[in-house]
Amino acid sequence: MLIGCSGQTTDQIAAGDNPLLTPYGTEFNVPPFDRLEPAHFEPAFVEAMARQKAEVEAIASNTEAPTFENTIAALDRSGGLLRDVDLIFGGLTGAATSPELQAVNQAVQPQLAAHSDEMRLNDDVFQRIKAVYDTRDQRELTAEQRYLLENMYRERVRSGALLDEPQQARLRAINQELSQLRVQFGDNLLAETNGFELVITDEADLAGLPGSVVAAAAKAATDRDHEGAWVFTTHKPSMLPFLTYAQNRDLRGRLYAAYTLRGNNGNEHQNTGIMAQVIDLRLERANLLGYETYADYELERRMSGTPERVYDLLDRLWAAALPVAQNERAEMQAIIDAEGGGFQLASHDWWYYAEKLRLQKYQLDDNELRPYFQIDQVRDGVFWVANQLYGFTFEPLTGLPTPHAEAEVFEVLEADGSHCGVIYMDYHPRASKRGGAWCGSYARQNRAEGHETDPIVNLVCNFTRPSGDTPALLSLDEVETLFHEFGHALDNLCSDVTHRTLFRSADFSELPSQIMEHWALEPAVLKHYAHHYETGEPIPDALIAKITGSKHFNQGFATVEYLAASLLDMKLHTLTDTEGLDVMALEQEYLDSIGLIPEIYSRYRCSYFGHIMGGYAAGYYGYIWCGVLDNDAFEAFKETSLFDKATARRFRDRVLARNGTAGFMEMYTDFRGREPEIEPLLRKRGLM
């Protein structure tokens, strides 16, 4: 039994008393955060699932012939309450959680998973969808309706709806096995990552490390019962500073070797066999569903569409980036030689000599920049960019319930003063918030019920807090992150769709966010918002030049390291024969064959490539695919002007307004007048 803060128990909350089950009665219909208790959620979920079940059963048992309206639109409308409750619950568990909410989460997640399977696998419903789908050419459908129908049908087919019973049973068994292997892989990786420690007892071995890094290592030692020593681990926040600053080359080598051997040490946490099994099962699943390879299956619903198109992009980028990385290697070797090092640069030397090179070339110090990035000014800078592009204005709202006392809330108004939506912004870390930065929703724009539902957006970060009298001063990374997340917010605020169900894609969804990062660092925009928090002076040109110049730094390495992992992911998922697969041998042979230099490892090796165990299988390429899009799309502004109204209007109408309801390439070419080109990305990274 769940006890909420008010002491009410689940049983005692009648629907009429549950703010999630009654009209909110708030301004702009924002969630009634001030009246919500953890104990309200489980009964609301139970009620919402029951309502969706009834709605779906009504669709399945409808005696009228299937139509778009009585089947597709009805399915799209079903589960409305469940979505609302889930959005609020997700927002709160992410940014304002509590032991009570976590307990609710554990209780409801299995119920939600079972419910969603039950809804998706209803064969009567599928037969009705299929009947509408098979006759789609004879029906008068809008472009959005047709897209929804085709994707709804395809998602069910991809889950096995057209297979016979034994095949479906095999598919379920494969899915089951895959999910167990995924958990095992993750558990092994965690054990391997936690299992290694570099214990330093001689202070001389700390030479070169900044004081803050030494202090963190001393604390890690205390935590691990190595009192008086210093400990470094293969967790990146511990490892990367050591690789970057530690003068002791042998120790750098030991630490990096431990990192690259995780999951491949021949002990009980060996991951290579698990990876091979996963690749094998995925191929079987793809074959069962009629695809030649797993990548064909996965990419069908992505913007890229086919493995060939992904390879085409990755190969071209590889050819451009590899010589730049080789050149960076030569520059670092020159430093080693000038210092009389007498050795060849090795993989574990890269960070150390790259840092020396960076200081030589740019002398960019984060602490020099921060005073120009006071958080309220950066926020106003983002608002200003949105105003210049789309005419939006932002009015602070007071008296509206917020998900947490630290969250700010604004009304977003269109250029003509009409209401567009609401945005919550919540900047700083705290114990009740998970790490990272993200942009979610408390309500998504749609007209599924015949009236307009306006978006309520929720932007959450973990940025530097104010300290003492000093306001929150952001790092350059944090500034770019705020612009990035705000791009996701604009994507939601500009949405102009009828139906609720969206089909978005990971290799397209970062276009709206990544394009905003470009404005963040444009000199004209920096001059507008980056003013010294004490003197009010705009950021000097010399600092802007350093920011711009340093953007090309080490991009050969970063691009090659990333591309190697992307290509490896594609290689594994385009295999057509997985008999006796040895993933480490394949990795070595394949990356050698495409010319990867020995000083660079793939960013992830097969034994610790966690991304492709989860949602990024045949999808790790998506980051740079979106990089091509955002750079090419931003060029459309550079070709006209930074805030060209017509270009902004086109981007809004043809991309942001439709995202999730139209083909990805169609949206892009409607905006750009042609398919994307890779040259802008290459220029941005200094690769051409």
Residues known to be catalytic: 485
Neighbours of 633 (CB within 10 A): 22
- Residue nearer to Zn ion on the CB measure, 277 or 513: 513
Minimum CB separation of residue 509 from Zn ion in Å reads 7
Minimum CB separation of residue 512 from Zn ion in Å reads 9
**Residue 482 in contact with residue 597, Cβ under 8 Å?**
no
Neighbours of 43 (CB within 10 A): 20
- Name which of 564, 561, 559, 558 is nearest 594 in CA terms: 564
Torsion of CA 48, 50, 54, 59, to 10 degrees: 60
Q: How many residues bind Zn ion (CB under 5 A)?
A: 1
Would you give the distance in Å from CA 525 to the centre of its chain? 26
Contact flags string 617-646 toward Zn ion, x per CB under 5 A: ------------------------------
Query: Which listed range, 193-201, 508-516, 624-632, 677-685, lies at the site for Zn ion (CB under 5 A)?
Result: 508-516
Radius of gyration from C-alpha coordinates of the chain: 27
Written as one letter, the residue type at 439 is C
Query: Which listed range, 35-43, 123-131, 492-500, 509-517, lies at the site for Zn ion (CB under 5 A)?
Result: 509-517
Interface positions, 659-688, toward Zn ion (CB under 5 A): none
Interface residue with Zn ion among 10, 234, 481, 513 (CB under 5 A) is 513
Q: How far is CA 463 from CA 92, 480, 560, 571, in A?
A: 18, 12, 29, 38
Tokens of 608: 């610790």
- Residue nearer to Zn ion on the CB measure, 413 or 502: 502
Minimum CB separation of residue 518 from Zn ion in Å reads 14
**Residue 592 in contact with residue 300, Cβ under 8 Å?**
no
**Residue 531 in contact with residue 538, Cβ under 8 Å?**
yes
Minimum CB separation of residue 660 from Zn ion in Å reads 15
- Residue nearer to Zn ion on the CB measure, 295 or 629: 629
Q: Which residue is nearest to Zn ion (CB)?
A: 513
- Residue nearer to Zn ion on the CB measure, 252 or 484: 484
Interface positions, 576-615, toward Zn ion (CB under 5 A): none
Query: Which listed range, 20-28, 56-64, 468-476, 512-520, lies at the site for Zn ion (CB under 5 A)?
Result: 512-520
- Three-state SS for 269-327 is CCCHHHHHHHHHHHHHHHHHCCCCCHHHHHHCCCCCCCHHHHHHHHHHHHHHHHHHHHH
Contact flags string 485-504 toward Zn ion, x per CB under 5 A: --------------------
Query: Which listed range, 82-90, 118-126, 342-350, 513-521, lies at the site for Zn ion (CB under 5 A)?
Result: 513-521
Q: Any residues with CB less than 8 A from the CB of 311 and at least 6 apart, and which?
A: 570
Minimum CB separation of residue 444 from Zn ion in Å reads 17
Tokens of 85: 């409750």
Q: How far is CA 288 from CA 88, 169, 285, 622, in A?
A: 38, 11, 5, 26
Minimum CB separation of residue 477 from Zn ion in Å reads 14
Number of residues that make up the chain: 688
Side-chain half-sphere exposure of 372, counting CA atoms within 13 A:
24
- Residue nearer to Zn ion on the CB measure, 448 or 521: 521
- Residue nearer to Zn ion on the CB measure, 71 or 513: 513
- Residue nearer to Zn ion on the CB measure, 441 or 513: 513
Query: Which listed range, 76-84, 148-156, 331-339, 507-515, lies at the site for Zn ion (CB under 5 A)?
Result: 507-515
Minimum CB separation of residue 103 from Zn ion in Å reads 30
Interface residue list for Zn ion (CB under 5 A): 513
